[in-house]
């Protein structure tokens, strides 16, 4: 069945057209589905809108739609940037599934709709029924802030909350599924959903069931005398049946460093052989701390307990004033072991200590190879986290698990997370601009391989930088050879510490702003990867300035231009 011609003729914006297209497709699907039953039944359309940076909220949104379908509902899933505020006002049932990014901010694909809905000009939404599922991580200060903001704003606009918001920590699967199982029956007028049947077929390998891969290559990319340590890894996925796309991430489940485990056991006054029941199994304390719990970064509960037991005035003061910045400064570089050693009255039984820990989490890494060029291996580009402080060497859990602990016999337990928006454009003739200093280069190595594999004719421009050219120009030979082969059309470099004044990728963007704007005007895609807190913000600012200056646009017009790029998925980021 064709979508009505009026959609193509009427003067709708791209977002309105996308939404209406979903709406009409929904109606027609319903009429087909119901044809043999009762053609006059009106099936309720549930709009599931997701705000997602790396695909988790997106996949939950699709799971919710699958469940809604089993309840006879018509569910239309949309990325928030496919909807504008006018389309939003016409919806009467909306489920919001959103993660939080940056420091309590919306994910990129949610920011434009959020700004419109949050504006004073937004009309009341008295007839809207909604519920929010917020994804986040309690280790961030502003836990689930984006979902909380949506929930509060919709209530403020007069919409009816049909089910209380659920805020999910990193182990989101169970609470997300409970939310779906609670909210969807409220929409379908049917009885509660059978809780035994899984919502969707789970992927073969996931966080709960990771693939036991093997590490084939562990190569130092930075020079031995560099101030940094960045490594190239090749991980075999042969025989797994798994595949990936350039732009996806690989999540690795590490184990903790054995020395850190034994130092912590000593600091809490245990011996490590204590037996503890964990997830239905009885396990020795030392094994539990090695494989099951986050022991480097202190949980809020552990921090509070150390403060209470020790009576440490400084720490208690920081915790009670709620000054998050001061607390973050105090904690910077101090891990659980430092805190235990600096507060030596803190002795715990094994059970008490374990009760204060969070589960050990996977770490995500942007894949630095193309799955087409390397179907049996996944390449990663990882900065090893190592720093000295409080008279000992500190090591990042996962980056040094890969660097130091894994040998050919060790399993690298991993699973993929697709990033459906961070992709090489389908149209091989369109230009790509890639900004990726430091490990931010990872997905762009994959993108360039992908363009090479596809024999794409589109131009490619990479902005790369790091501390010193001599020691930190990672993948130098590969990049120069891609340049010679004509795959990499332009390479702009910014080595920050080779001169007195810092020089960053955004300085190069400004320097070549005229050409950068021309590439955008030719339909170019703008990708950013790497540090979220400083680099990505400054690059965003520079992009706005370049567009305003070379497009001769006002500040507001430049913002609109950037928003349009975001809506069209031509400005996408993979930042961490």
Ligand X SMILES: NC(=O)c1ccc[n+]([C@@H]2O[C@H](COP(=O)([O-])OP(=O)(O)OC[C@H]3O[C@@H](n4cnc5c(N)ncnc54)[C@H](OP(=O)(O)O)[C@@H]3O)[C@@H](O)[C@H]2O)c1
Number of residues that bind ligand FMN (CB under 6 A): 24
Compare residues 83 and 383 and give the one whose CB is closer to ligand X: 383
478 binding partner (options ligand FMN, ligand X, ligand FAD, none; Cβ < 5 to 8 Å by kind): none
Cβ neighbors of 5 (< 8 A, separation 6 or more) are none
Interatomic CA distance for residues 5 and 190, integer angstroms: 36
Task: Give the whole-angstrom CA distance, residue 290 versus residue 243.
Answer: 30
Instruction: Give the separation between CA 87 and CA 8, rounded to whole angstroms.
Output: 16
Using CB under 6 A as the binding criterion, the count of chain residues that bind ligand FAD stands at 22
Binding mask 507-546 for ligand FMN (x = CB under 6 A): -------------------------x--------------
140 binds ligand FMN (CB under 6 A): yes
**Shortest distance in whole angstroms from residue 327 CB to ligand X:** 18
**Which residues, 6+ apart, have CB-to-CB distance to 76 below 8 Å?**
22, 23, 25, 26, 45, 46, 47, 48, 65
Closest to ligand X by CB, 47 vs 231, is 231
Compare residues 465 and 524 and give the one whose CB is closer to ligand X.
465
CB atoms within 10 A of CB 30: 19
* First and final C-alpha spacing in the chain: 43
Which residue lies nearest ligand FMN, judged by its C-beta? 136
Q: Does 359 bind ligand FAD (CB under 6 A)?
A: no
DSSP readout, 375-392? TTEEEEEEE--EEEETTE
Site for ligand FAD (CB under 6 A): which residue of 399, 449, 496, 506? 399
Integer CA distances (angstroms), 322 to 141, 315, 317, in order? 11, 11, 9
Nearer to ligand FAD, 250 or 267 (CB): 250
- As measured in angstroms, the least distance from the Cβ of 390 to ligand X is 17
The answer to the question of residue 434 lying near ligand FAD (CB under 6 A) is no
Residue selected from 16, 22, 117, 136 as contacting ligand FMN according to rule CB under 6 A? 136
205 vs 365 by CB, closer to ligand FAD: 365
Measured from the CB atom, the residue of 130 and 576 that comes closer to ligand X is 576
DSSP state of 6: H
Judged by CB under 6 A, the residue of 398, 421, 434, 546 near ligand FAD is 398
If you write DSSP's letter for every residue of 46-109 in order, what string do you get? EEEEEE-SSSHHHHHHHHHHHHHHHTT-EEEEEEGGG--HHHHHT-SEEEEEEE-BTTTBPPGG
Taking the least distance from each CB to ligand FMN, the nearer of 101 and 447 is 101
Q: Considering the rule CB under 6 A, would residue 534 count as an interface residue with ligand X?
A: yes
Residue 57 makes contact with ligand FMN by CB under 6 A: yes
**Shortest Cβ 391–ligand FAD spacing (Å):** 14
Question: How many whole angstroms separate alpha carbon 221 and alpha carbon 223?
Answer: 7
Q: Which residues pair with 394 in a beta bridge?
A: 387
Q: Are strands 45-51 and 93-99 parallel, antiparallel or unpaired?
A: parallel
Taking alpha carbons only, the member of 25, 97, 99, 91 closest to residue 61 is 97
Cα-based angle 446, 450, 453 (whole degrees, multiple of 5): 135
Find which of ligand X, ligand FMN, ligand FAD, none residue 442 binds, CB within 5 to 8 Å per kind. Answer: ligand FAD
- Given ligand X, ligand FMN, ligand FAD, none, residue 496, with its beta carbon under 5 to 8 Å by kind, binds ligand X
Q: Which two tokens stand for residue 533?
A: 């807190």
From residue 387 to residue 406, the character string flagging contacts with ligand X as x (rule: CB under 6 A) and all else as - is ---------x----------
Q: For ligand FAD, which residue of 363, 459, 567, 573 counts as binding (CB under 6 A)?
A: 363
The verdict on 231 binding ligand X (CB under 6 A) reads no
Q: Does 382 bind ligand FAD (CB under 6 A)?
A: yes
Which of 384, 367, 363, 417 is CA-nearest to residue 529?
A: 367
Task: Please name the residues in contact with 427: beta carbons below 8 A apart, sequence gap of 6 or more.
Answer: 458, 523
Answer for the pair 111, 57: CB distance below 8 angstroms, yes or no: no
The reply to whether 233 sits near ligand FAD by the rule CB under 6 A is no
Q: How far apart are CA 530 and CA 535, in angstroms?
A: 7
* Nearer CB in complex with ligand X: 55/465: 465
Query: Do 78 and 49 contact (CB within 8 A), yes or no?
Result: yes
Q: Considering only CA atoms, which of 369, 418, 375, 411 is closest in space to residue 237?
A: 375
Cα(306)–Cα(330) distance, rounded to whole angstroms?
14
**Binds 390: which of ligand X, ligand FAD, ligand FMN, none (CB < 5-8 Å by kind):** none
User: Does 443 engage in binding with ligand FMN (CB under 6 A)?
Assistant: no
Give the nearer residue to ligand FAD in terms of CB position, either 395 or 459.
395
- The site for ligand FAD (CB under 6 A) is made up of 54, 249, 296, 332-333, 363-366, 381-383, 385, 387, 396-399, 439, 442, 574, 576
- The site for ligand FMN (CB under 6 A) is made up of 52-57, 99-104, 107, 135-137, 140, 142-145, 172, 532, 576
- The site for ligand X (CB under 6 A) is made up of 383, 385, 396, 437-440, 465-467, 496-497, 502, 504-506, 530-531, 533-535, 538, 576
């Amino acid at each position: 069945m064709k979508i009505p011609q009026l959609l193509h003729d009427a003067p709708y914006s791209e977002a309105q057209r996308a939404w209406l297209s979903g709406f009409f497709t929904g109606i027609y699907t319903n009429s087909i589905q119901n044809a043999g039953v009762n053609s006059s039944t009106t099936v309720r359309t549930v709009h599931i809108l997701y705000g997602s940076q790396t695909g988790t909220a997106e996949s939950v949104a699709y799971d919710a739609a699958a469940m809604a379908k089993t309840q006879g509902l018509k569910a239309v899933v949309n990325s928030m940037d496919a909807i504008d505020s006018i389309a939003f006002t016409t919806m009467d049932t909306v489920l919001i599934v959103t993660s939080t990014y940056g420091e309590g901010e919306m994910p990129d694909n949610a920011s434009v709709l959020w700004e419109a809905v949050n504006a004073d000009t937004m009309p009341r939404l008295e007839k809207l029924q909604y519920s929010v599922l917020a994804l986040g991580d309690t280790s961030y200060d502003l836990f689930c802030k984006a979902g909380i903001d949506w929930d509060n704003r919709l209530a403020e606009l007069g919409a009816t909350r049909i089910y209380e918001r659920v805020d999910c920590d990193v182990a989101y699967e169970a609470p997300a599924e409970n939310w779906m199982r609670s909210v969807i029956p409220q929409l379908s007028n049917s009885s509660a959903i059978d809780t035994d049947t899984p919502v969707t077929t789970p992927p073969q390998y996931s966080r709960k069931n990771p693939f036991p891969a093997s590490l084939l290559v562990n190569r130092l990319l930075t020079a031995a005398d560099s101030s940094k340590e960045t490594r190239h890894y090749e991980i075999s996925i042969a025989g797994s049946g798994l595949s990936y796309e350039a732009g996806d991430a690989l999540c690795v489940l590490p184990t903790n460093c054995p020395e850190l485990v034994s130092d912590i056991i000593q600091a809490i006054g245990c011996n490590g052989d204590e037996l503890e029941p964990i997830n239905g199994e009885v396990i020795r304390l030392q094994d539990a701390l090695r494989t099951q719990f986050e022991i480097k970064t202190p949980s809020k509960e552990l921090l509070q307990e150390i403060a209470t037991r020790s009576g440490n005035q400084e720490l208690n003061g920081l915790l009670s004033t709620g000054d998050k910045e001061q607390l973050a400064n105090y904690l910077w570089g101090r891990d659980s072991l430092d805190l235990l050693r600096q507060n030596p009255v803190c002795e715990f039984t094994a059970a008490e200590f374990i009760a204060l820990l969070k589960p050990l989490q996977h770490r995500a890494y942007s894949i630095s190879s193309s799955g087409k060029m390397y179907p049996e291996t996944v390449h990663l580009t990882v900065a090893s986290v190592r720093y000295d402080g409080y008279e000992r060497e500190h090591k990042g859990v996962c980056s040094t698990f890969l660097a130091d602990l894994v040998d050919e016999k060790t399993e690298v337990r991993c699973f993929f997370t697709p990033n459906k928006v961070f992709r090489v454009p389908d149209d091989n003739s369109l230009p790509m601009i890639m900004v990726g200093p430091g490990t931010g280069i990872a997905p762009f190595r994959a993108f360039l391989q992908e363009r090479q594999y596809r024999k794409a004719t589109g131009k490619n421009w990479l902005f790369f930088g790091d501390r010193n050219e001599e020691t930190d120009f990672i993948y130098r030979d590969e990049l120069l050879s891609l340049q010679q082969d004509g795959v990499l059309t332009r390479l702009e470099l910014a080595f920050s510490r080779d001169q007195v004044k810092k020089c960053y990728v955004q300085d190069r963007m400004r320097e070549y702003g005229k050409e950068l704007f021309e590439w955008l005007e030719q339909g170019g895609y703008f990708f950013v990867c790497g540090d979220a807190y400083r680099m990505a913000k400054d690059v965003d600012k520079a992009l706005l300035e370049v567009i305003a200056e070379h497009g001769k646009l006002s500040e507001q017009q430049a913002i609109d231009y950037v928003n349009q790029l975001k809506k069209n998925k031509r400005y996408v980021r993979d930042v961490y």
